[in-house]
Amino acid sequence: MVNTLTPTDILDPDFLQSVVRQATYQCRADGSGFYLCDPEQGEIFLVATHNMGQMPWDEELPARVIAAREAIIEIFPDRAVSLAAPLIWQDAVRGVLIVFDGNVKRTYRDRDTALLQSLADMTASVGQQNERLARMTAQFRTLHTIDVALTSSLESERVLNLILEKAAELVGAEHGSLRQLDPESGKLVLKAHYGDGWTPEKLAYTPRIGQGIARWVAEHRRPYLSPDVRNDPLNVVLFEDMRSSISVPLQYGQEDPSNPDSLLGVLLLESSRVAAFDQQDVELLEALAQGAVIAIQNASQHQKLRTEQEKRLAAEKWAVMGQAATALAHRINNLMGIVPVSASETLRSLTKIEMPDSERHWIEANLGRIERNAQFVLKLSDALFRPFKDSGPMARLDVNQMLNEALESADLPAKIEVFRKFEENLPMVNCSLLLVDIFLELIINARNAMQHRTQRRLQVSTRTEQDDAGIWVVVEISDTGRGIPVDQMAHLWKMFQHSEAGLGFGLWWLRTFIERQGGSIECQSELGKGATFFVRLPAFGGREPPVE
């Protein structure tokens, strides 16, 4: 679990200002205030107020609400009577919402308490969802950083150190080690380390057979989670202040973990907190471990032909990101799926509470927005991880037919002139059925680029080429859109390169997919005149199939 986010990172100040205003209006109070709490640091600080001069309540009131974990009414003599409600998520009080009235004879009714607590719960729900999305975004960006390192360097030491560092940051670990198995001696040799306190003696330590968590993981080829290493007989103490540990094997061919040649090493992380890691962290580290596997294999295969290396790297990158995407998609669906149901249940519960129509409409509108946002995140999750879903076996495909299907699916407006120039008797290609999605992505990008243009012309053509490597099927997709600026062309294929029309994710997975099929893709563009994408795929029987 990522532990670098604080409540101030995930709750927008303008949103909190709106919350305190609504709290004042809903409870018919004189003013209000909002405290944020950092349960890790034990800090409480006032971040938003409405219509408040001097402090109208006892400064210890927020601390009492945090301790009680429920709403509290208190009278501060000669100042005000206050009503305070806690914001709770992840089983911790993350904030306190307080309203006050200068009339010390004011009596807060059950309705006031229910309204304030509902507003606090709604704010907590927003904060919790923002926190989850922020964590997942950080995780995906970390995976992207590792992906860039894997594609830009064959120096295993640099890549392994980066993977270990990012793995520790993702799960909030203070120490870590990445050990590679020496197949001749059977020793787990330290290749990368993370954290403070690594003395020469600790760097020289090598776990022996039957000794240590890392050795157990290597022998059993399975992850290991230790919530309290002080009670774990497998633990070997290297750092006295460490309390919990997580370890995963570095291996290829995970479908057959019993294969004695599949293990390459072990990744181990430690924390000073008891039970700092969970099963979700295991899933993330298993995905990251595959990055380490790739780095080790790249170093060992450095002398092989460059073309074979590029094909293998594309396939392995896809596998790494696919595993990570599956784990993250599972988390998103599990965490967000309950939100629409909860919003509906909350909406039904409001029917039992008497309140003015204006207040009911405001609450219903906010609950509706929460439900719509949750549904949007679930749809975004499905779209984001769709490319990594199993596309079935490879098949012999007619590229001309695939392009026609993509053009029909794109549902292009009548204002776009479409010109087809297909070579007859085009060779078949041996490819995944996702090829039609590749063409559809390029066609939709062209359609979007031609919005608001006077001339809208889309040309799709096919032809064959032959070189020393064999026979190729070439697809050209050209548009008369706005074109791509030179500064964007340099980063066109990188992940998370945002564009006006999307997340900047499509072109990255598109190129990775095509390279995995043994092909290539290029782009030529002139600003203001349009762009042309060239897709080259090996003709079936025309050259060696790609390495899977």
Q: At what angle do helices 435-449 and 506-516 cross, to 10 degrees?
A: 150
Rounded to an integer, what distance in angstroms lies between the CA atom of residue 213 and that of residue 248? 10
In a domain, 484, yes or no: yes
Contact 124, 95 (CB under 8 A): yes
Rounded to 5 degrees, what are φ and ψ at 237? -80, 115
Using the structure block, give the residue that is written with the tokens 């993350």: 94
Rounded to an integer, what distance in angstroms lies between the CA atom of residue 234 and that of residue 211? 7
Rounded to an integer, what distance in angstroms lies between the CA atom of residue 428 and that of residue 44? 66
Whether residues 90 and 201 fall in one domain: no
pTM: 0.38
Token pair in block for residue 421: 């120039």
User: CA 391 → CA 2, 149, 431, 436, 444, distances in Å?
Assistant: 32, 27, 10, 11, 21
Whether residues 296 and 184 fall in one domain: yes
In the predicted model, what is the mean pLDDT of residues 444-453?
A: 90
Whether residues 191 and 72 fall in one domain: no
Diameter of the chain by CA atoms? Answer: 93
Contact 495, 504 (CB under 8 A): yes
> What residues contact residue 357 under an 8 Å CB cut-off, 6+ apart?
none
In a domain, 530, yes or no: yes
Whether residues 6 and 77 fall in one domain: yes
| 503 — pLDDT class (breaks 50, 70, 90) | very low
Whether residues 101 and 161 fall in one domain: no
Residue 477 has pLDDT above 90, yes or no: yes
DSSP string, 384-415: HHGGGS---S-EEE-HHHHHHHHHHHHT--TT
* Domain count along the chain: 3
What is residue 259's predicted lDDT score, i.e. its pLDDT?
57
User: CA 319 → CA 137, 253, 316, 548, distances in Å?
Assistant: 20, 11, 5, 10
Whether residues 188 and 293 fall in one domain: yes
Q: Which domain holds residue 57?
A: 1-109
Whether residues 518 and 417 fall in one domain: yes
Contact 461, 497 (CB under 8 A): no
In a domain, 388, yes or no: no
Interior/surface letters 218-233, b for 16+ CB within 10 angstroms, e for the rest: beebebbbbbebeeee
Whether residues 404 and 275 fall in one domain: no
DSSP string, 229-266: GGG-TT---SSTT--EEEEEEEES-TT-TT-TT-EEEE
Q: Helices in 305-398 by DSSP H: which ranges?
A: 306-336, 338-350, 357-385
The amino acid that residue 172 corresponds to is: G
Please report which helix (H) or strand (E) contains residue 166, including its range. helix 156-171
Instruction: Tell which of 302, 325, 344 closes a domain.
Output: 302
The SS3 of residue 196 is: coil
Whether residues 296 and 431 fall in one domain: no
- Per residue in 144-164, pLDDT tens? 666 665 555 556 677 778 888
What is residue 153's predicted lDDT score, i.e. its pLDDT?
54
The domain that holds 289 is classified in CATH as 3.30.450.40
In a domain, 51, yes or no: yes
In a domain, 208, yes or no: yes
Whether residues 181 and 293 fall in one domain: yes
Interior/surface letters 22-43, b for 16+ CB within 10 angstroms, e for the rest: bbbebbebbbbbbbbbeeeeee
Give me the percent of the chain exceeding a pLDDT of 90. 36
> What residues contact residue 502 under an 8 Å CB cut-off, 6+ apart?
none
CA proximity to 370, closest of 129, 208, 536: 129
- What angle (nearest 5°) sits at the alpha carbon of residue 526, between those of residues 523 and 531? 45
What is residue 25's predicted lDDT score, i.e. its pLDDT?
93
> What residues contact residue 280 under an 8 Å CB cut-off, 6+ apart?
1, 327, 331
What is residue 30's predicted lDDT score, i.e. its pLDDT?
94
Find the Cα–Cα–Cα–Cα dihedral 39, 41, 42, 46, rounded to 10°: -90
More confident residue, 268 or 145: 268
- Per residue in 368-405, pLDDT tens? 888 777 776 776 566 556 555 555 567 899 999 999 99
Contact 24, 50 (CB under 8 A): yes
- Per residue in 96-107, pLDDT tens? 999 999 998 899
- Per residue in 62-79, pLDDT tens? 999 999 999 999 998 888
Token pair in block for residue 119: 């507003």
Instruction: Tell which of 267, 302, 337 closes a domain.
Output: 302
SS (H, E, C) 275-310: CCCCHHHHHHHHHHHHHHHHHHHHHHCCCCCHHHHH
Instruction: Tell which of 302, 326, 341 closes a domain.
Output: 302
In the predicted model, what is the mean pLDDT of residues 294-322?
A: 58
DSSP state of 539: B
The domain that holds 475 is classified in CATH as 3.30.565.10
- Per residue in 199-209, pLDDT tens? 999 999 988 87
In a domain, 401, yes or no: yes
Whether residues 98 and 177 fall in one domain: no
In a domain, 386, yes or no: no
In a domain, 117, yes or no: no
Whether residues 404 and 519 fall in one domain: yes
Token pair in block for residue 155: 């120096």
CA proximity to 83, closest of 47, 108, 55, 104: 108
